[in-house]
């Protein structure tokens, strides 16, 4: 295989802090090359340089043996490079077709945008990718998984030579990941080089030919996937080997803290019933669109309920808004943290303590000491977030570190029931292990956890019971000895 891309000795600093130090990366024609590294290792920065979003301080980039000067996103595109960024870049009020063709709209003879052709081509393309999405749909109305597929479809449609995918599967379930992998295999067949960033190690076995590992802005090694092991990769990434990833003991008690009966809320939540025990980790499984996140929104007062009842500690609960939910001790770490959780230009401090101001603002006096100690406990000790100062805007942190701050916020604010919607999405393997330990510790102390995840292994390993949802309905509750991938799939897909 001939060399398609070579990045050599790439360095980059932000305000004097070096985040990339002489990093290397080579990609062959038709190769899927994965980039692996902890949150903040510099993966996104490296590919933003390739994509022309950032300029490098040092280093050289060759494409098919020729030295290039990538100076802007535009010039990167002219070299045939397309980047699907970690943060989606779609325009929410435009349609799927408009987004896919943005900047390259087909024109009619009269010079206006040929919407019909655009919709037709998009429909054909979506069909080829086996996506159940309509060209005329407004992107902002699609769930995040579908938005991600549109973003991917857009990059592929341009006929690029090098496609970079920065955590493309972070909100996809297994079925959708398969659709994406099929598309990637087609691209491989055409000789396209793919740089693939993911924290899901099992995906790398399935799709990556080689893996380059980075740590703290340094190039560590490049290995051939089939000649390596997860343990070896983890030790390259973290600098040492990790113990058991999962840490799970049964802390579930008899006492029911929350009981939901025939809840309905909009067309996504039709008939949901379940019980949550004190100290329990209750998993929620289902396909994208099964209504898991929407159910939690209803519980958390973010979505209007049409029918059904909620009981907290045996008493009927009225949850009309977030404040009510918090008064019942409920906290939610949302799935789409970018949309629902992050105040991007505000600092880490603001983003961490915004929900718990009352804890250090007592009787008109503000205790900075108290606030700092809360931040220190959660952001530093529990989540081990990487940042330079507590007033640093959260938008400047790496994707995974932004999430750690938002998780810290809700850990701090939750008293009884913590709802985690895809909490390990985009989070490196070491922090994943930390989050699992944390869940175990919190439940030991009597907190109850609702855990939504699209990653089957973590659900199976971390939950006491799993509720399966299918088209807005709860279709079954499995106990630990009934957990199998097959049983869960059966309940998530059976005809209703």
Ligand X SMILES: Nc1ncnc2c1ncn2[C@@H]1O[C@H](COP(=O)(O)OP(=O)(O)OP(=O)(O)O)[C@@H](O)[C@H]1O
Question: Where on the chain is the footprint of ligand X (CB under 6 A)?
Answer: 14, 19, 37, 39-45, 86, 386, 396-401, 428
Q: From ligand X, Mg ion, none, which one binds at residue 40 (CB under 5 to 8 Å depending on kind)?
A: ligand X
Of 43 and 270, nearer to ligand X (C-beta) is 43
Q: Helix H segments across 197-347?
A: 201-207, 230-238, 292-299, 322-327, 337-340
In the list 44, 147, 408, 470, the residue contacting Mg ion (rule: CB under 5 A) is 44
Q: From ligand X, Mg ion, none, which one binds at residue 237 (CB under 5 to 8 Å depending on kind)?
A: none
Distance in Å, CB of 244 to ligand X, minimum: 22
DSSP, collapsed to helix, strand or coil, labels residue 65 as coil
In angstroms, the CA 454 to CA 329 distance is 25
The answer to whether 56 touches 12, Cβ cutoff 8 Å, is yes
Distance in Å, CB of 407 to ligand X, minimum: 13
Distance in Å, CB of 387 to Mg ion, minimum: 14
Written as six digits, the tokens of 8 are 């050599």
Of 50 and 118, nearer to ligand X (C-beta) is 50
Residue numbers 75-94 binding Mg ion by CB under 5 A = 86
Residue among 473, 421, 475 at smallest CA distance from 293: 421
Q: Residue 387: in which H helix or E strand, if any? A: none
CA distances from 143 to 40, 93, 229, 287, 421 (A): 27, 14, 34, 12, 14
Distance in Å, CB of 14 to ligand X, minimum: 3
Other C-beta atoms lying within 10 Å of the C-beta of residue 408:
25
Distance in Å, CB of 426 to ligand X, minimum: 6
**Among 39-47, 76-84, 318-326, 407-415, which window interacts with Mg ion (CB under 5 A)?**
39-47
The answer to whether 166 touches 83, Cβ cutoff 8 Å, is yes
Residue with tokens 């701050």: 405
Of 191 and 395, nearer to ligand X (C-beta) is 395
Q: From ligand X, Mg ion, none, which one binds at residue 411 (CB under 5 to 8 Å depending on kind)?
A: none
Distance in Å, CB of 479 to ligand X, minimum: 35
Of 216 and 324, nearer to Mg ion (C-beta) is 216
Residue numbers 363-402 binding Mg ion by CB under 5 A = 399
Q: From ligand X, Mg ion, none, which one binds at residue 331 (CB under 5 to 8 Å depending on kind)?
A: none
Q: Please spell the DSSP secondary structure of 49-78, one letter per residue.
A: HHTTSS--SEEEEEETTEEE---SHHHHHH
In angstroms, the CA 47 to CA 10 distance is 11
Residue 381 CA from chain centroid, whole number: 22
Of 148 and 398, nearer to ligand X (C-beta) is 398
Return the residue nearest ligand X (CB atom). Answer: 400
Of 179 and 242, nearer to ligand X (C-beta) is 242
Distance in Å, CB of 434 to Mg ion, minimum: 18
Distance in Å, CB of 137 to Mg ion, minimum: 28
In angstroms, the CA 197 to CA 37 distance is 9
Of 41 and 447, nearer to ligand X (C-beta) is 41
Of 257 and 348, nearer to ligand X (C-beta) is 348
Q: From ligand X, Mg ion, none, which one binds at residue 397 (CB under 5 to 8 Å depending on kind)?
A: ligand X
Query: How long, in residues, is the chain?
Result: 496
**266 torsion bin: left (phi>0), alpha (psi -120 to 50), beta (else):** left
Hey, which residues does 393 pair with through a beta bridge?
347
Contacts to Mg ion by CB under 5 A:
44, 86, 399
């Amino acid at each position: 295989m001939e060399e398609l891309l070579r990045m050599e000795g790439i360095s980059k600093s932000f305000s004097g802090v070096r985040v990339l130090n002489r990093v290397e990366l080579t990609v062959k024609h038709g190769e899927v090359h994965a980039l692996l590294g902890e949150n903040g290792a510099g993966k996104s920065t490296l590919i933003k340089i390739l994509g022309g979003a950032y300029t490098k301080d040092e280093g050289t980039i060759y494409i098919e043996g020729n030295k290039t000067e990538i100076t802007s996103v535009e010039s990167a595109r002219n070299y045939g490079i397309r980047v699907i960024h970690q943060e989606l870049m779609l325009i929410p009020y435009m349609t799927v077709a408009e987004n896919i063709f943005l900047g390259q709209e087909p024109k009619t003879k009269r010079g206006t945008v040929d919407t019909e052709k655009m919709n037709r081509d998009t429909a054909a393309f979506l069909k080829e990718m086996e996506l159940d999405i309509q060209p005329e749909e407004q992107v902002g109305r699609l769930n995040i998984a579908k938005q991600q597929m549109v973003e991917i479809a857009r990059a592929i449609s341009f006929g690029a030579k090098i496609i970079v995918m920065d955590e493309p599967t972070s909100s996809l379930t297994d079925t959708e990941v398969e659709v994406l992998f099929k598309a990637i295999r087609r691209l491989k067949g055409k000789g396209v080089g793919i740089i693939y960033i993911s924290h899901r190690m099992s995906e790398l076995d399935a799709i990556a030919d080689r893996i380059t590992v980075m740590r703290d802005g340094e190039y560590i090694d490049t290995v051939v996937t089939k000649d390596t092991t997860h343990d070896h990769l983890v030790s390259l990434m973290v600098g040492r080997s990790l113990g058991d990833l999962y840490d799970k003991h049964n802390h579930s008690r008899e006492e029911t803290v929350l009981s939901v009966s025939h809840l309905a809320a909009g067309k996504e939540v039709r008939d949901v019933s379940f019980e949550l025990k004190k100290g329990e980790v209750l998993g929620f499984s289902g396909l994208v669109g099964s209504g898991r996140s929407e159910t939690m929104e209803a519980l958390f007062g973010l979505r209007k309920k049409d029918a059904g009842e909620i009981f907290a500690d045996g008493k009927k609960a009225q949850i009309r808004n977030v404040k009510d939910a918090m008064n019942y001790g409920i906290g939610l770490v949302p799935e789409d943290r970018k949309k629902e959780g992050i105040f991007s230009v505000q600092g880490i401090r603001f983003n961490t303590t915004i929900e718990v101001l009352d804890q250090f603002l007592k009787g008109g006096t503000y205790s900075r000491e108290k606030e700092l100690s809360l931040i220190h406990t959660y952001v530093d000790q529990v989540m081990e977030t990487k940042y330079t100062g507590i007033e640093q805007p959260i938008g400047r942190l790496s994707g995974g570190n932004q999430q750690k701050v938002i998780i810290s916020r809700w850990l701090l604010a939750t008293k009884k029931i913590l709802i985690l919607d895809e909490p390990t999405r985009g989070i490196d393997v070491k922090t994943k292990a930390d989050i699992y330990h944390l869940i175990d510790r919190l439940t030991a102390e009597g907190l109850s956890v609702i855990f939504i995840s699209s990653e089957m292994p973590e659900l199976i390993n971390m939950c006491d019971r799993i509720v399966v949802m299918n088209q807005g309905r709860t279709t079954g509750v499995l106990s630990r000895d009934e957990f199998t991938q097959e049983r869960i799939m059966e309940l998530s897909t059976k005809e209703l």
